[in-house]
Amino acid sequence: MSKITYIEYNGSSHTHEVANGLSVMEGAVQNNVPGIDADCGGSMACATCHVYVKEEWFNRIPKKDDGEEDMIDMAYEPNNLSRLSCQIIVSEELEGLVVNLPEKQT
């Protein structure tokens, strides 16, 4: 289990223990975190799981592949900290990870 913190655009913070091996998106859905709809169920086809990874964490998580990059281009207001949370797999190394949700995902 690793502690993941999801911060909504309005500042509301949700910290949950997420089982290693699940995605950051699955951790949000299982804990009813508002703002991560995950319409495609994690198949990288919707971008409704878009998050901004806290800067100090960005280089500590596994890199995105080209498919994720393409989908992020279609997300709402992507920036250089954007990731699809369905593509970030939770592991012990991610204990304490913090992600922020975009304005549109409320």
d(CA 59, CA 62): 8
Shortest gap between Cβ of 40 and ligand FES (angstroms)? 3
Report the residue from 4, 22, 33, 49 that binds ligand FES according to the rule CB under 6 A: 49
| CA angle (91 as vertex; 30, 85 as ends), nearest 5 | 50
Binding of ligand FES at residue 78 (CB under 6 A)? no
- Pair 105, 50: CB distance under 8 Å: yes
Shortest gap between Cβ of 15 and ligand FES (angstroms)? 21
Residue numbers of the site for ligand FES (CB under 6 A)?
25, 38-40, 42, 44-49, 71, 84, 86
